[in-house]
Amino acid sequence: MLEQLEQQRTDALAELETVDDSDALHEWYIKYLGKKGAVTLMLRSTGQLPPEERANFGKRANEIKHLLNEAYAQREQAVRQQELAADLESDALDVTLPGRPRTLGGIHPVTQTHREFYTIWADMGFQVFTSRDVETDEYNFQLLNFPPDHPARDMQDSFYTTDDGVILRTHTSPGQIHAMRQLGENGTQPVRVILPGMCYRYEQITARSEVQFTQVEGLAVGRKIRMSDLKGTIAAFAKRMFGQNVSVRFRASYFPFTEPSMEVDVECFLCDAQGCNVCKYTGWLEIAGSGMVHPTVLRNGGYDPTVWSGFAFGMGPERITMLRHGINDIRYFWSNDLRFLEQF
């Protein structure tokens, strides 16, 4: 019996060596260690042996059963490993096929640019102040130091409505008067706002000009607001918007509602100021108009210009979006072609 038992052990181990998949492993287990397995049966037959052999045989049989179980466990792990490796190997996908499309919504590029403006200006204490699109001539022009029939009005062609003296605002600047009057508390409180909004000008629609466009204007009024503050503030904005290394220059210009007035140019970031067709080979990109608030406008906002001063600036989000994304045609913005919008 004992010899038989040892033979079973040798056979089982040898056979186990050749087992290389789960099915064969399972068969092996049933063959030797299952309920009717060879080793199990031998163990069970211990009682039929003569009493003096029983103890010895039983001990050995248990040892062998234990040994085979261990061998089985080891083999099982090896086989599983192998099979997993084979499975992984056979599950290959074409990873270059496109994924299942998810629906991606999105925010209009002009809104995105507005949000960047809001964030940067909010960090400098400028809050957003909105005002109406349809304005009186008084707010759009007269209070901003454009008298009736003044040549400065040639700079902005208006859309008139059928109501006398009611026009579509040509710039967000009427918001300056509204902001000063609403927030300034009769010229006693400082004001620091940006004024976003849609503006309208009677122009032909071309790749470069639109009948409606957004502006973001800024206004700071206080007791100690100086032109040097305007320069520093705009330069800080430009660095955040266009890069920390960008240079800014200020060029004298004319707007009726500011004095001194200046255009703000940043170094062309498209060509590193080397000259390209976007900057018209000047190395500079015009990004804003600005200036110190004209005394007449301060007065119209309720402030005493001998005590209070202010600066204002205005920027075109579409233009800046065009510069930053290499957009050559301003008409893309309101055409809302999804092939365009989906690039943002």
Residue 4 dihedral angles phi and psi, to the nearest 5°: -60, -45
Q: Is 254 in the site for another protein (CB under 8 A)?
A: yes
Q: Applying CB under 8 A, which of residues 31, 108, 181, 239 lies at the interface with another protein?
A: 108
Q: Is 116 in the site for another protein (CB under 8 A)?
A: no
- Report d(CA 182, CA 175) in Å as an integer: 10
- Report d(CA 220, CA 127) in Å as an integer: 10
Q: Is 192 in the site for another protein (CB under 8 A)?
A: yes
Q: Which window, 13-21, 24-32, 169-177, 183-191, contacts another protein (CB under 8 A)?
A: 183-191
178 within 8 A of 299, measured Cβ to Cβ: no
Q: Applying CB under 8 A, which of residues 27, 83, 137, 229 lies at the interface with another protein?
A: 229
Q: Which window, 1-9, 19-27, 85-93, 279-287, contacts another protein (CB under 8 A)?
A: 279-287
Tell me which residue of 170, 128, 160, 164 sits closest to 255, measured CA to CA.
Answer: 170
The torsion defined by the Cα of 289, 291, 296 and 302, in degrees rounded to 10, comes to: 100
Minimum CB distance to another protein smaller for 52 or for 154:
154
Q: How far is the CB of 259 from another protein (least distance, A)?
A: 5
Site for another protein in 305-324 (CB under 8 A): 305-306, 309
Q: Is 219 in the site for another protein (CB under 8 A)?
A: no
User: What DSSP state is assigned to residue 207?
Assistant: S
Q: Which window, 40-48, 49-57, 81-89, 335-343, contacts another protein (CB under 8 A)?
A: 335-343
Q: Is 101 in the site for another protein (CB under 8 A)?
A: yes
Helix (H, G, I), strand (E, B) or coil at 149: coil
Q: Is 93 in the site for another protein (CB under 8 A)?
A: no
- Report d(CA 325, CA 343) in Å as an integer: 10
Helices 51-90/2-18 angle, 10° precision: 0
